[in-house]
Structures are given as C-alpha cells and as structure tokens.
Structure 1
Amino acid sequence: MASNDGDIITDWLVQNEQVFREPADFLAFNSYLISEFGVAQATEEKALIIRYALLRWLEFHKQGFVCIEMEDILDPGTMMRELYHQIDGPTWDKEALIHVLSDLSFTSGFESFELEDGRLYMKRHLSFENEIVKWLKNVDYSLDSFLPNRGISELIWNEYTEWVAQEFSDLDTPKKRVLAHLFSMQFFIVTGGPGTGKTFTFERILKSYQRWHPELKIQLAAPTGKAAKRMNESIDSSLLDVYGEAKTIHRMLGARHDGRFSKGVKNRLISDVVIIDEASMIDIDLFIQVVRALK
C-alpha cells in the first residue's frame, strides 16, 4: 500500500504491519478515514488526532470492547506507542481530546461515533448498551420471579437445596451455589477460567430442571458450531433427547440471508429458559438480538 506523502500514520502502519493480528483491517480503515478528510486535510493536526484515536478504538473493538476510554487513547499501550509519540500525543490532554472527538460524522455511510461519559462508542453500540442496561434493570430478581404463578414455598425450597446437596455431592461449593439460584433469578452468568467446569455444570442444571420443573421448555445454544458441538458432547444423551441439542445462536434466532433474524421483539422465542455456553464470545451486536428475542 502506497503512503501519502508526509502522512505519518500511513507510513507507520505500512512499516509496522507485523504488530497487528489483522493489519489489512487497520490499513483499510485508515484509508477510509483519509478519504473522509480528503488527502490534503488528512495530515492536519486535528485529522491526525482523530485518525489515531479511531485506530486505537479499532484495536479495542477487535479485542471485544464496546468502547474505549479517553485515558486508553492517551495511554497508547505497547502496540501504538511509537506512533503516539510521532504525532505528539503526549502534548494532548483529555479535555482537548474530548473536544476534538465530540462531533464525528462521516459522509460515505460509515456509522458515526459518540462520546458518553468520557468513552468513545460507535453510535449503535452505545444504543445497544443502553438497551441492555435497561433490560437488566427491569429483570425481577425476587425469589418467585423466575416461575410466576408457581411460587416456591419455603418447604419446597429447603427440599430442593437438600436434594442438590445429596444429588450432586461431587460438586464444589461454587457450582452448588449456581444450582441453588436456578429458581430464584431470571438472569445470571456463570463465570470461571478454562477447565473450571462451566460446561460440565450445564448437565447438572438440566437435571435440576428436569427433576423440579419438567414442564419448562429449555433451549441450549452457543456462539459457534464448534462450541455447540462441545456443549452437546458434555451433556448426557438422555437429557438431549428431552431438551434437544444445542444450536448456534444464529440458528436459534433464525438468521436470514439479509443479516436479519426471524426471532425478535415481534416473534419471540417460545423457550422458558435459554442456556448459552461460551457467552464471552458473543459480541454486543448479537447479544442485543438475544435480549430482544427473549420472552
């Protein structure tokens, strides 16, 4: 890729392709930004600041972050530190950076960006994040919320927790705690490092649902076909006969060729429970579709 004469950023990107996992994406995004500013204006100070900030945003975006803090733009890390110094980044301050980035709009169809509380978002991601936060705040975390009209009496609750302790005596305390919360929360996340037994715990979750509320419709899902296959392999076939095999999230939501989904606000999933493995692999663009499709 030929650089523009005197363009510090393009020259640096071309000379340092090896530091990026997907250098073509950074080069293409940089070319797009140059076309937006115009070749002559792209090397002016304000344009250099914006281009650097958005390339830094792209670096974070590729790591799964929804936004980037102003402090992270001003602290270039190891990958872009040399470029940051070449364009006099250390002379910037947070307020000046916010001022420069406060009005980013593009003419050729690329999505606009927006600042919120010192964080730079792609505008649609900020909207999705706010929608998810609102949904989480509306989730009822009271004891009987998960099974409306099927109130869990204290006697039955005690019986259930005793059953968990006896039936799954091989589980450690954190995993038993997960099972204890099955009927007391509408939404929860099971976290843990690789090999700690998150997927293994799913089978125990399904056994608990089958024993105490066999009428529930349960959908198993994962972000990729490989993850769905691994999920199916970790669950007893007799349980899969009852609840069905795990699907990819795209298949669960009815992905269409135009990029849209058949499931959503107007056509929700019929499942009472949705269990998703490897949820950390889900980006916000897909997770918002899951949220909208839930009952």
Structure 2
Amino acid sequence: MSEPGGTTSDVGRDVGGGVLGGGVLGGGELGDGVLGDGAARTPWRAGPLLGAFAAAGVLTAADVRVAERLGALTGEADERVRLAAALAVRAVRGGSVCVSLADAVALVDVGDPGPGRIEAGGREAAGPGPGTPDAGPAVLPWPEPDAWAAAVRASAMVADGPAGPADRPVRWVDGRVYLDRYWRDEQLVRHEVDARLAAALPADDAAVRRAVAARFPRPADTRQRLAAATAAVSRLTVLTGGPGTGKTTTVARLVAVLRDVHGTDLRVALAAPTGKAAARLQEAVDAELAELAAASGAPRPAVLHASTLHRLLGARPGGGTRFRHDRAHRLPHDVVVVDEASMVSLPLLARLLEALRPDARLVLVGDPDQLASVEVGAVLGDLVARVPPAGSLPARLAALVPDDAPPPLTAAGGTGTGPTTTGTGTGPPVVTDADRSDDARDRRALRGGVVRLTVPHRFGADLGALAEAVRRGRADEALGLLRAGGPHVQLVETADAAPTAAEVGGVRADVAAAGAAVVAAARAGDAAGALDALGRHRLLLAHRRGPAGVALWSAVAQRWVTEAAGADDGGGPWAVGAPLLVTTNDRTTGLANGDTGVVVDDGSGGVVVAFGTAGAPRLVRPHRLPAVELVHAMTVHRAQGSQFARVSVLLPPATSPLLTRELLYTAVTRARDVVRVVGTAEAVQAAVQRPVRRASGLLFPR
C-alpha cells in the first residue's frame, strides 16, 4: 500500500497480494502492463461468460485475469463463480469493499460511477459512465440469481458466511461477495469500533466539565463543547462538519481540554492521509494552542508534530500492507487525531486500529460529504451513517456540557440521551419519521461518538446555501441558487460541454490577474507575496485528460498568464513565477505530495522555490526538489483539503463518470469567497443527483 497521493499500488498488488494468504497473485503475476489497461478487450484465457462481460466493457482484463487465476488455483471451473469473483475485483477497483450479487445487474445497467470507472489511485479508466450504460441485462448473459447464489456459496473458492474457512480467497456474507482480505479488514474495523464504544474511559467528570467550560467560553458552539466532552470520556470520537464549521479549532481546544484533565505530559499524535494535510493540521492546531496559552497567560505549549498516517504507523521500505506498529508493537500515544479522515481507506484504518493501545483515544476528523479515499472504502461516511450499539455515552455527555449551554442535541420533550429508532434487535432498526430530521440523526449518531458541527463561520450566505443544497442532493435548488447568483456564487451556463472563449472570459480574467500577481511578486523576490497571490484563485476540473481535463486547461491558463504578465515560458517549470505542484513525498526536504510552491528570483541570478504559507515561506533550491509539475489548474481530487479565495470549476459533460455529488460539493467548498461554476444545467443537475455509492457491510448489523 503506497502513501496516498504518491505512486499508488496497482490492483494486482492491492487485490492479489495476500488474497490467498501468501501473495500468490502479487508481484509480477499481475503487473502494471495488464492492470493499467482498462480497455474492453477479451482477456487471456477468458471463458465465454467472462469474455462476454469483458467484451461489453463491464470487466477489464485485470478483473478477469484475477478471477481466472483464482479459479485455477482453487479448482473452481464454474464460470458463474468466477464471474462473482471478477465482479468483486471490479468493486474493489472502484472503491467498494464488496459487491451484492442481487444489485449487480442494476448497477451495471445504470453505469454506476464507482466500480469500473476509476482505477486504483484515481487514474481515469476507459469505459462509459452514468447515462451511457455498460450493457443492459437483456444483452449480457447474467446467471439465474438463485442458482448463481447457490453455486457461489457451494464453491471451493468461497467461504460461506463469517464462520466459513479462513483459507479461501472469496467470502459470501448475507448476499455480499468480498475478496476475503477486505472482509477481514471490515470485520476488524467493526469489532474495534464497537469495542471502543462499549465502555467509557475513566475520567473526573467535574474536571472535564470545568475544562470544557474554560476552553469553550460562551458563546462557543455547543456542539464543539460536546466534541471535547466526548473525547474526554470516550475511546472514539468522530468529528464531522463542512468546511468552515470549526473542526480544526475544535481539535485544538479538545487537545487543551484533555491536557487540562490528564496533564501536559499526555502523548498526542496528529496525523492525516497526506503530507500536505498533515502540515496544515499541525500549523492550525499549533497556532490555536499558542493563542489559548497567550489568552490564559500560560507558557506556550510544545509544538505538536503532525505526520502522515503511513509515517505514524511506520511504513516499511518498499511499501506493503504491514507496518512497524501493529498489535504486537503498539503506538505509544494516549491520543491520536486523524484529520481529513474521509480520505482514509478501509485497510489503512484497520491497520491504525490494530496499532492503537486499547486505552488510547482516537479522534477522526473530516467531512463525509467530500470525495472519499481513492482506495477501498468510504469508512468515515460509514461510521457516520451506521446505527451504533446502544450505550450510555449521550446521557453522560449531557452532564459534562456546562449549564450555560443549551442541552446538546435534544428534541422537544426529549432528553438527548438516545435515539428514537425502534427495532427487534435481530435486524436493521426501523427509522421513524422523527429520526429523519438532522437533529434526530445526530442524536442517534452520538451513540457512536459522532459529533457533527453545523454552524459555518467562513462562507457567505449564498455560498453556504449552495454547498448545503448540493450536499442534500437538491438539484433544482442548487441550479436555482447558481442561476440567481450573488456576491459569492456565479454560474456561467454554457450551451454545451465545450465552453466558448466568451463563456470562459471571467475564468481567464481571474487566472490572468492571479497569475500576473504571482509573477510580479516572484520577480521581485517576494516569496511571501508570491505564495499569497497563488492562493487567490484556482481553476479546478474533474478529469486529468481530455477536452475537460487538467492537461489541456493548464496549458491554456499558462498562455493567459504569459500574455497578462509577459512571463517567460522558455524556462519551463523553472521560469520565475511558475506555480509548481509536488507529486511525491520527500523526507529529505520535508515536502509532501500535493504541496504547491512558486519559483522566485533569489536576487543573485538564480531561483529558489517558495513553499508553505505567506506567513512562513520555505525556500528550496530546484536541485533538491522531488518530482514536480506545473499547476495552473488541478483536479478536484488534488484540491481536496485546500482552500482558495476564488475558485472556478469547469464541469465536464453530464455523462462524465467522474461528475458526482461529492465532486461538485468538494469543488464548491474549496472557495473561501467566490465560486464560479462553468457548465451546462444538465451537468449541474446530473452531479447533484449522482451520489457515489460504495458498497460496504459496515452499515449492516452482525
């Protein structure tokens, strides 16, 4: 498993490596040349059933080759079973943990945007998307459902149920087909999460109450107080909310509360999936803690150093799915805070939970409505959405929030101590009408240590309303808000997916103005000014390639900047004023995949590259840099976790497989001040109406 954002593992290493326990399918058996090919071609030695699905574009050569190899190794010749295995591989490739055979026909018929659409690591794959089905069930030779299920469950390739044999590569559980390693990771996460919620940690409730009141003085958001109280008494806290709702501020004050209660020698680790996110987390938390100390007259606390999750766990040279820290060699920390948790994959969270001490506190922070991990799973969303086991946590929390705050998450006539769902205890709870409200959902989620921040502190009203309409899937409302416009929201509604020069005139003006400011500051040797200008505007796209891709539009934007600023293109990425994106992690310089910088005149005839923030720029000589590329435009995935004063979003055609609700929400919320959306009305509505659905068993009770 590679560090997110770096060179991602291919499906062969991720799926095949270890799928039979000994890495039978790993390494050279399934190499990049085969797995990188998403073309709809009949793979080597494919039988007629799998060949038909491959020819229709449903399965890739990689999907079929893994299934055929598993069949050969386990002696399973039934193509119906091999098809189920191939669909499970396809599901993993698209980010799902499993595939439901009962839903497989419908998913393929509507052209689901997940499986089969994006290769591991987010690389765009060939094939049609939503609105352009792979092939209908009338065309494909789908097995008869009951006979198919029976054949899969009886196969020597498949472990039937949770208690099935441990040495089989595929597992059937309640109609869902898993590659066994992912089922095991899912079970580990389920068990560890439930165990962490089963019993509260001992704490002096009076001390917690005093600390929460001191660190969150009125008029603090009651939910921020609730999050701190949760972390003080629970081994798992999930802090969610949209951009600008105060998650990072809450994390810093939460850490201060824990130190007040448990002492300043509390060992706290800050981590994030990427180096860039880790650096932002460290900077924000350190600044907030310093401000708290100054306000109270206390000494400035020691800086909390943040790292990537891979570095925290002790990634071994050469990658792999195992780390230095595990059940036998636990992390020493008392508290681990993970930011941007929506980007954490299921296997990575499983490894983290394995490595934590049983009494350690875990705080997961993120926005479940943003784009999920480019690898397997949507764990943050699953943890927020699942109905947790019953417990006493909400009642205790109500007593820990100071009296001057309104009761947390209570409804009329309610106490805020539990959900209003009903159920028999043998199946999923029955959700009442009252539970469908946000507050009722949040009360129910509180049993799972989930606290959702809802008060935005950063956006203008119109931008916040647009983000909320997209998040809730209200397509007509979102389009109406865009068409109405406002000081923070603009729509350039195009006639078709290819905008004209006039339609991108506003984009050009913003790109040119920001780019010219970057170049002017860089020529003057003003690193801070260049970095500040770099954050004034960002052009975002869904695709990396094609007419609506970063490669094309970055070149267009570079030409606009050149014409506006008289920039020198001859120097390529080392021209003064060139904006650069780091594409690999580098421990020598401390630069992380996703870091952005600007080439600046050093005043002596050479150049340096400025990274970091305008307040604290870091200067690095070009020869010391890892791999970089020009970044006049970037994908929405790349921009996740960053914010810019103004953002322009160029939407692809409505049929694009990458155009989803999560992508549009993430793009819109990258803007602090103004967002401009360029695209057709159909593209806007298609995005809002198309949530990414990743199959998982975490939402189902066991």
TM-score of the aligned structures, taking structure 1 as reference length: 0.75
Say whether the 8 Å CA contact 2:52–2:140 is kept in structure 1.
yes
- Which of 304, 310, 316 aligns to 1:250? It is 310
Is 1:27 the counterpart of 2:80 in the alignment? no
Matches of 1:165 and 1:73 in 2, distance apart?
49
Is 1:221 the counterpart of 2:271 in the alignment? yes
- Which of 183, 195, 204 aligns to 2:232? It is 183
- Which of 258, 272, 276 aligns to 1:209? It is 258
Matches of 1:194 and 1:8 in 2, distance apart?
45
Secondary structure, counterpart of 1:269 in structure 2: coil
Matches of 1:112 and 1:35 in 2, distance apart?
11
Is 1:160 the counterpart of 2:211 in the alignment? yes
Matches of 1:129 and 1:183 in 2, distance apart?
27
**1:123 to partner: Cα distance:** 0.8
Matches of 1:162 and 1:37 in 2, distance apart?
61
Secondary structure, counterpart of 1:235 in structure 2: helix
Matches of 1:253 and 1:58 in 2, distance apart?
27
**1:225 to partner: Cα distance:** 1.3
Is 1:266 the counterpart of 2:328 in the alignment? yes
Which runs of 5 or more residues in structure 1 are unaligned? 17-22
Partner of 2:346: 284
Instruction: Please list, as runs of the form range in 1=range in 2, the aligned pairs for 1:6-17 lying within 5 A after superposition.
Output: 7-13=51-57
**1:29 to partner: Cα distance:** 2.2
Say whether the 8 Å CA contact 1:268–1:293 is kept in structure 2.
yes
Secondary structure, counterpart of 2:241 in structure 1: coil
Say whether the 8 Å CA contact 2:42–2:61 is kept in structure 1.
no
Say whether the 8 Å CA contact 1:141–1:184 is kept in structure 2.
no
**1:82 to partner: Cα distance:** 1.1
- Which of 144, 149, 152 aligns to 1:101? It is 152
Say whether the 8 Å CA contact 2:189–2:353 is kept in structure 1.
yes
**1:238 to partner: Cα distance:** 7.5
**1:140 to partner: Cα distance:** 5.7
Post-superposition CA distance 1:114-152 (Å, at most 9, x none): 001221111122222223333233326555x1xx4xx41
Partner of 2:42: 3
Is 1:88 the counterpart of 2:141 in the alignment? yes
Structure (1/2) with the larger helix percentage: 1
Cα 1:99–1:209, aligned 2, differ >3 Å: closer, same or farther? same
- The amino acid across from 1:282 in the alignment is V
Cα 1:206–1:9, aligned 2, differ >3 Å: closer, same or farther? same
Say whether the 8 Å CA contact 2:249–2:288 is kept in structure 1.
no
Post-superposition CA distance 1:211-248 (Å, at most 9, x none): 33322100011111122122123223474962532111
Cα 1:158–1:291, aligned 2, differ >3 Å: closer, same or farther? closer
Matches of 2:137 and 2:94 in 1, distance apart?
20
Matches of 1:62 and 1:35 in 2, distance apart?
17
Say whether the 8 Å CA contact 1:115–1:121 is kept in structure 2.
yes
Post-superposition CA distance 1:138-169 (Å, at most 9, x none): 326555x1xx4xx414x334323432441xx3
Say whether the 8 Å CA contact 2:67–2:83 is kept in structure 1.
no
Cα 1:199–1:66, aligned 2, differ >3 Å: closer, same or farther? farther
Identity, in percent, stands at 26
Say whether the 8 Å CA contact 2:228–2:254 is kept in structure 1.
yes
Secondary structure, counterpart of 1:270 in structure 2: coil
Structure (1/2) with the larger strand percentage: 2
Say whether the 8 Å CA contact 2:277–2:339 is kept in structure 1.
yes
**1:51 to partner: Cα distance:** 5.1
Post-superposition CA distance 1:5-50 (Å, at most 9, x none): 973222222xx8xxxxxx9xx3322234346668xxx9x9x52x44
Partner of 2:103: 72
| Bigger Cα Rg | 2
The farther-off stretch of 1-10 and 283-292 is 1-10
Cα 1:86–1:50, aligned 2, differ >3 Å: closer, same or farther? farther
Cα 1:97–1:231, aligned 2, differ >3 Å: closer, same or farther? farther
Instruction: Please list, as runs of the form range in 1=range in 2, the aligned pairs for 1:19-58 lying within 5 A after superposition.
Output: 26-34=60-68, 47=79, 49-50=80-81, 52-58=83-89
Which runs of 5 or more residues in structure 2 are unaligned? 1-38, 112-132, 159-167, 291-300, 358-702
Cα 1:171–1:12, aligned 2, differ >3 Å: closer, same or farther? farther
Say whether the 8 Å CA contact 2:63–2:87 is kept in structure 1.
no
- The amino acid across from 1:75 in the alignment is A
Say whether the 8 Å CA contact 1:231–1:277 is kept in structure 2.
yes
Say whether the 8 Å CA contact 1:8–1:86 is kept in structure 2.
no
Cα 1:200–1:55, aligned 2, differ >3 Å: closer, same or farther? farther
- The amino acid across from 1:100 in the alignment is A
Matches of 1:281 and 1:31 in 2, distance apart?
29
- The amino acid across from 2:140 in the alignment is I
Say whether the 8 Å CA contact 1:12–1:83 is kept in structure 2.
no
Cα 1:156–1:60, aligned 2, differ >3 Å: closer, same or farther? same
TM-score of the aligned structures, taking structure 2 as reference length: 0.34
Secondary structure, counterpart of 2:238 in structure 1: coil
RMSD: 3.3
Is 1:192 the counterpart of 2:219 in the alignment? no
